């Protein structure tokens, strides 16, 4: 999900593979996505409610999967059942597919929301 979001951000803000784009700029946007700030943004239910359900669901799945990945990486006593992991993978694939079908203006707005700090 992280790389889907990073690629979407770079494609939507700089241009996709067929575009006349700056490769260094594309890479810079791709690499700008940070795990922690993205997770925090994806927890902001007030803002997420302004997005279509597909984007909101993607954000919620992003947070949930990141938490599971952290438990898998850092808690040696954590155990995952194959059936639960397979269900998670199916859910992630579905969330990614629905996210990629969301209107481009909403995906672009979501990318801006997770990439850029809002100044008051």
What pLDDT digit, counting tens, does each position of 22-62 carry? 999 999 999 999 999 999 999 999 999 999 999 999 999 99
Q: Based on the structure, what is the number of domains in the chain?
A: 1
Q: Is 120 within the bounds of a domain?
A: no
Residue 4 forms part of a structural domain? no
Distance, CA of 94 to CA of 96 (rounded, Å): 5
* Of 82, 79, 42, 34, residue with least CA distance to 63: 42
Which pLDDT tens digit goes with each residue over 99-118? 999 999 999 999 999 999 87
Domain annotation covers residue 15:
no
Residue 14, domain member (yes or no): no
Q: What is the pTM of this model?
A: 0.90
Distance CA(53)–CA(57), nearest Å, equals 6
Q: Is residue 19 domain-resident?
A: no
Structural domain of residue 79, as residue ranges? 34-115
Residue 89 within any structural domain of the chain: yes
Question: Per-residue pLDDT for 63 more than 90?
Answer: yes
Q: How far apart are the first and last CA of the chain?
A: 29
Listing DSSP states for 30-82 in one string gives HHH--HHHHHHHHT-HHHHTTS-HHHHHHHHHHHHHHHHHHHHHH-TT----H
């Amino acid at each position: 999900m992280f790389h889907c979001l990073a690629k979407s951000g770079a494609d939507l803000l700089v241009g996709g593979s067929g575009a006349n784009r700056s490769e260094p700029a594309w890479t810079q946007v791709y690499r700008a996505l940070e795990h922690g700030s993205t997770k925090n943004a994806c927890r902001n239910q007030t803002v997420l409610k302004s997005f279509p359900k597909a984007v909101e669901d993607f954000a919620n799945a992003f947070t949930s999967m990141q938490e599971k990945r952290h438990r898998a990486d850092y808690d040696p006593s954590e155990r995952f059942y194959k059936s639960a992991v397979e269900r998670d993978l199916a859910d992630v694939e579905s969330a990614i597919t629905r996210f990629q079908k969301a209107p481009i203006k909403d995906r672009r707005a979501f990318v801006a929301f997770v990439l850029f700090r809002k100044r008051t």
